[in-house]
Amino acid sequence: MSKAFRFIDIEQASYVLIGFIPYLLAIYLVIHLDAEITPSLLLAGLVALAAHLTGYSLIRHFGKQLADVREITGNTSISEYKFPIEIDGKSPDELLGIIDNFNKIMQDSKRSSRQLKEMTTKLILHARDIECYQAKLRDEGISFVRLSRYVDKSVAEKIMNSAEDILLQNTKQEATILFADIRAFTTLTEHMTPEDILGFLNTYFDTMVKIIFNHQGVLDKFIGDELMASFGVLGEAKDGPMNAVNAAIAMQARAQSLISEFRAKKYPEFEIGIGINTGNVVMGSVGSENRMDYTVIGDTVNVASRLQHIAEGQCIVVGENTYQRCKAHIPMLPMGEIKLRNRVSSVKYYQVKK
């Protein structure tokens, strides 16, 4: 494809051709009409020449401005950083209008690019979370030590020694279930950045899970800002209630010490409510062949969850069975009974004295 003419070349050539008209007229008068060359005629010729040169200079100046606009917009369009561009305010209105429209397009492009980057970042974060989760659960990416942090060691051995994925058999036994939840978490984090929210939760969960493990507990799952743990699953079931209550007391104490650490990071102050209940549960894999969770289910779990919901910040609320097992060692106050939906009998509950 042949290269197109530049606007400045076309305009200059046009102006030069038009400018020759008065000179051709003068030559015609002198040669064909024998007009006399007088000082007045020479003066008029000089004035015409000066006007011609002045016009030619203006045309060149305008052409240079147009070329500058082309260069500036071209450099901006290929630059990584899109900033508004400016030209001399004495430029023609048409060029100023072109620059104004170009800046608007750049602003829209910058806004769209920022939105695309935000979406890309979110997708990368989600993909990273999925990869981490798969790395923990898939046979290839899980070591025995890592897997044993989530389930009973005997269960971990059964999974690791299996040549293929297996559906674990369900078992029924006594266990003590603990739920812990950060009170008004949505309100607390309303003005926090996503990075700060993740830092807040990661630090909080890391300290709480360590306490659970130190008291022979098994982490069941995270549900938003809530966690669920089982006690009495490892070792003797009769030790579960005391281990769970002692873990809850340690968690509340650690939550108070975390506040001063979080204050240095400008994180908000927080409180947690804890509910504990002891009883029979069914343990096993729940889900599909492609996606399984090893967990505990049953009425005992539902009651523990409801007790957590009625627990105020910095409080630990336990059910009747847990109270009977721990009252000789840990002082508790009777709080009355609560009627639960879809349950015939009411539930007595108690609060651990602070």
Residue 27 included in any domain: yes
Whether residues 342 and 221 fall in one domain: yes
Whether residues 182 and 319 fall in one domain: yes
pLDDT at 166 over 50: no
The pLDDT confidence band at residue 40, using thresholds 50, 70 and 90, is low
More confident residue, 12 or 99: 99
Mean pLDDT value across residues 168-181: 85
Whether residues 181 and 66 fall in one domain: no
Whether residues 223 and 347 fall in one domain: yes
pLDDT at 307 over 90: yes
- We report the CATH number of the domain holding residue 308 as 3.30.70.1230
pLDDT of residue 237: 84
Cα-based torsion angle of the residue sequence 77, 78, 80, 86 in order, rounded to the nearest 10 degrees? -40
Contact indicator for 324, 278 with CB cutoff of 8 Å = no
10 Cβ contact partners less than 8 Å away, ≥ 6 residues apart: none
Tens of pLDDT along 217-233?
888 888 889 999 999 88
Whether residues 69 and 178 fall in one domain: no
| End-of-domain residue from the set 79, 95, 119 | 79
Q: Alpha-carbon distance 222 to 4, whole Å? A: 66
pLDDT at 63 over 60: yes
Residue 109 included in any domain: no
Whether residues 74 and 195 fall in one domain: no
Q: Alpha-carbon distance 201 to 226, whole Å? A: 10
Range of the domain at 67: 7-79
Residue 100 included in any domain: no
Residue 110 included in any domain: no
Rg of the chain on CA atoms, in Å: 41
Whether residues 73 and 191 fall in one domain: no
Tens of pLDDT along 311-339?
998 999 999 999 999 999 999 999 999 88
Residue 54 included in any domain: yes
Residue 180 included in any domain: yes
Mean model confidence pLDDT for the chain? 77
| End-of-domain residue from the set 27, 54, 79 | 79
Residue 104 included in any domain: no
Whether residues 221 and 348 fall in one domain: yes
More confident residue, 92 or 312: 312
Whether residues 180 and 37 fall in one domain: no
Residue 226 included in any domain: yes
pTM: 0.56
| End-of-domain residue from the set 79, 112, 141 | 79
What domain count does the chain have?
2
110: Cα separation from own chain's centroid: 20
pLDDT at 345 over 90: no
Whether residues 67 and 208 fall in one domain: no
